[in-house]
């Protein structure tokens, strides 16, 4: 928390250095200060052409909202907490979109990392002093169950990302993991592969994400008239490269190696790819390989990695929308929003000459 407190302490100094005012923006845009305020605070009933003119002036002058003044007048800090397992690159990439979208609305995002550790998740979301420091929290739980999540607070609303605990009373942004996993498995089936493995079922069955991706994998096999073989599902302790590499080794040494593999995230797929290449297997000729998350590393691996690409920008926008709605006084029942996704075939499943490396085969 030290970095958060230091950042909060610097906020006043940053505000003091602000030289561009709403009056400056109003003068450049040829509108009233009230109109500029309405655009800055994203109020409705501003004509589109006027809003666009004001936004151009805001951008040109580099205007930043005075968060200290906003806090004094509204009782808010202008700060949002983002709690993520940043040891997985997907969440690091997602955090950039959340920060950008929050800043566009005039909020500052401060990030805490959990690395998916239950104790750290519990400690971060259970702290009572957060209600004084943050206006709201965006949180992606990995280890906590529904019963361990604290009750929702009207003073500090929480938006969950990832798989939603059944019955939890929180706003939530999700990706349909079952449908996405089914689609990428169907992609592998469509290549004519016979023994399709899955890497990512946890040793300790706590992850709903993994459970849903296994469900999608099984649904694709059933739809193709294939039996589910538990020997083709490799368990892991975490979703890291080393786990994917070790699981791939076990599958290859099983006596009946797979000819296609769906990994539950791109990190494990990159680890599996390393094992395949080091043992002399050709990808995709001998073994086709697909991941999930569309992290940047997969676009530059050799071969490039077929993946499920969740719309990270949409996830961030939906999360900030839900949070700011609560901050504006919305007391409606908790909402669940689904972000879109697509399967992106690349070289790890499709030959280099096919020209299909970046074509989406399905949208969610």
Cα–Cα distances (Å) from 282 to 80, 140, 166, 287, 335, in that order, read: 47, 36, 42, 7, 46
In the DSSP assignment, the letter for residue 163 is S
**pLDDT at site 133:** 80
Q: Which residue has the tokens 């992606």?
A: 140
pLDDT digits (tens, 9 = 90+) for 187-217: 999 999 999 999 999 886 566 889 999 999 9
- Would 38 be classed as within a structural domain? no
- Would 88 be classed as within a structural domain? yes
Structural contact between residues 173 and 160, judged by C-beta atoms closer than 8 angstroms: yes
Same domain flag for 230 and 283: yes
Same domain flag for 91 and 159: yes
d(CA 221, CA 284): 20
My answer on whether omega of the bond before 89 falls inside 30° of 0, hence cis, is: no
By C-alpha distance, which of 278, 231, 270 is closest to 251? 231
- Would 26 be classed as within a structural domain? no
My answer on whether omega of the bond before 223 falls inside 30° of 0, hence cis, is: no
pLDDT digits (tens, 9 = 90+) for 306-328: 999 999 999 999 999 999 999 88
Structural contact between residues 131 and 158, judged by C-beta atoms closer than 8 angstroms: no
What is the pLDDT averaged over residues 43-48?
A: 77
Greater pLDDT, 361 or 104: 104
- Would 54 be classed as within a structural domain? no
d(CA 326, CA 86): 26
Cβ–Cβ contacts within 10 Å for residue 355, how many?
9
Number of domains within the chain = 2
Q: Which residue has the tokens 């004094």?
A: 72
What tokens were used for 29?
Answer: 């845009």
Same domain flag for 161 and 270: no
Same domain flag for 318 and 170: yes
**pLDDT at site 329:** 86
- Would 21 be classed as within a structural domain? no
What tokens were used for 7?
Answer: 């950042």
Same domain flag for 238 and 208: yes
Same domain flag for 146 and 215: no
Which range of 14-23, 168-177, 217-226 scores highest in mean pLDDT? It is 217-226
Greater pLDDT, 343 or 124: 343
Same domain flag for 115 and 254: no
What proportion of the chain, given as a percentage, has pLDDT over 90? 57
Alpha helix segments (H runs only) across the chain: 2-16, 22-29, 33-40, 48-61, 67-74, 89-104, 118-125, 130-133, 177-190, 208-223, 241-252, 266-278, 296-300, 312-327
Residue 348's pLDDT band (cuts 50, 70, 90): very high
**pLDDT at site 319:** 97
For the chain, state the CA radius of gyration. Answer: 23
- Would 64 be classed as within a structural domain? no
Same domain flag for 228 and 358: yes
**pLDDT at site 165:** 59
Residue 78's pLDDT band (cuts 50, 70, 90): confident
69, pLDDT greater than 60? no
Same domain flag for 164 and 119: yes
Same domain flag for 200 and 166: no
CATH number at residue 146: 3.40.50.2300
pLDDT digits (tens, 9 = 90+) for 252-300: 999 889 999 999 999 999 999 999 999 999 999 999 999 999 999 999 9
How many residues make up the chain in this entry? 364
Which range of 33-42, 118-127, 243-252, 322-331 scores highest in mean pLDDT? It is 243-252
359, pLDDT greater than 80? no
Cβ–Cβ contacts within 10 Å for residue 166, how many?
7
Which range of 117-121, 134-138, 242-246 scores highest in mean pLDDT? It is 242-246
3, pLDDT greater than 70? no
- Would 218 be classed as within a structural domain? yes
pLDDT digits (tens, 9 = 90+) for 131-172: 568 899 999 988 776 667 776 666 788 999 987 655 568 899
Same domain flag for 228 and 197: yes
- Would 15 be classed as within a structural domain? no
Give me the domain span that covers residue 166.
79-174+312-341
Same domain flag for 188 and 290: yes
């Amino acid at each position: 928390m030290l970095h958060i407190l230091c950042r909060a302490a610097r906020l006043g100094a940053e505000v003091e250095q602000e030289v561009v005012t709403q009056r400056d923006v109003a003068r450049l845009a040829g509108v009233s200060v009230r109109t500029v305020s309405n655009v800055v605070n994203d109020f409705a009933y501003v004509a589109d052409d006027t809003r666009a003119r004001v936004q151009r002036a805001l951008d040109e002058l580099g205007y930043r909202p005075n968060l200290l003044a906003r806090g004094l007048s509204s009782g808010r800090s202008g700060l949002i907490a983002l709690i993520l397992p940043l040891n997985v690159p997907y969440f690091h990439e997602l955090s950039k979109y959340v920060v950008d979208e929050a800043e566009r609305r005039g909020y500052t995002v401060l990030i805490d990392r959990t690395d998916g550790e239950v104790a750290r998740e519990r400690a971060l979301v259970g702290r009572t002093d957060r209600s004084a420091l943050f206006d709201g929290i965006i949180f992606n739980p990995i280890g906590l169950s529904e019963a361990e999540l604290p009750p929702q607070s009207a003073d500090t609303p929480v938006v969950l990302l990832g798989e939603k605990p059944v019955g939890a009373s929180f706003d939530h942004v999700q990706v349909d993991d079952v449908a996405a996993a089914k689609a990428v498995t169907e992609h592998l089936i469509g290549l004519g592969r016979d023994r399709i493995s899955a890497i990512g079922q946890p040793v300790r069955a706590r992850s709903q994400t993994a459970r849903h991706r296994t469900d999608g994998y099984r649904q694709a096999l059933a739809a193709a008239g294939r039996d589910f073989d538990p020997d083709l599902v490799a368990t892991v302790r975490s979703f890291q490269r080393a786990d994917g590499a070790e699981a791939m080794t076990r599958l290859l040494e099983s006596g009946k190696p797979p000819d296609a593999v769906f990994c539950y995230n791109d990190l494990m797929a990159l680890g599996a790819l390393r094992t395949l290449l080091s043992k002399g297997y050709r990808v995709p000729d001998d073994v086709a390989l697909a991941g999930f998350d569309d992290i940047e590393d997969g676009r530059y691996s050799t071969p490039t990695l077929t993946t499920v690409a969740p719309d990270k920008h949409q996830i961030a926008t939906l999360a900030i929308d839900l949070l700011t709605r609560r901050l504006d006084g919305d007391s409606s029942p908790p909402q669940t929003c689904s972000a879109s996704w697509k399967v992106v075939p690349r070289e790890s499943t499709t030959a280099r000459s096919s020209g299909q490396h970046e074509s989406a085969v399905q949208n969610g």
